[in-house]
Amino acid sequence: MKLEDYKRIYKKPGNKYNAKSSTYDGRHYDSKLEAGYAMELDWLKKAKTIKDWTSQHKLDLRVNDIHIANYYVDFAVEYPDGHIEYHEVKGYETALWKLKWKMAIAIYGKDKFVLIK
């Protein structure tokens, strides 16, 4: 077998959704869209529209005191009045993500979640 044949068979690993990972402010993000949103949150913080934000915030999904799964929401955003919203930046929605998203909304309340596309 020639080298060209191996190149045709072997596919270089990468993101299966064609997202291009990106770095912003020294932190790695899964997509350019996510990194851009982190930059936008920094601007909102400087403008004092939001108090603070964190990325990859872990939410415990429990039903009847039974741990079902962990859900890592892209951003937890704290506002000056103290309330927190969970922001998810999505390009492609998988079936597993949709299930966890619906569970999180059912457990924590719809008014706490924002989907950015």
pLDDT digits over 26-66, tens only? Answer: 888 888 999 999 999 999 999 999 999 999 999 999 999 99
Quickly state the pLDDT bin for 92 (edges 50, 70, 90): confident
Task: Return the pLDDT at 8.
Answer: 60
Residues in CB range of 97: below 8 A, 6 or more apart = 90
* Domain 20-116 belongs in CATH node 1.10.150.120: no
How far is it, in rounded angstroms, from Cα 110 to Cα 104?
8
Task: Return the pLDDT at 22.
Answer: 82
Place of tokens 């859900």: 71
* pTM over cut 0.85: no
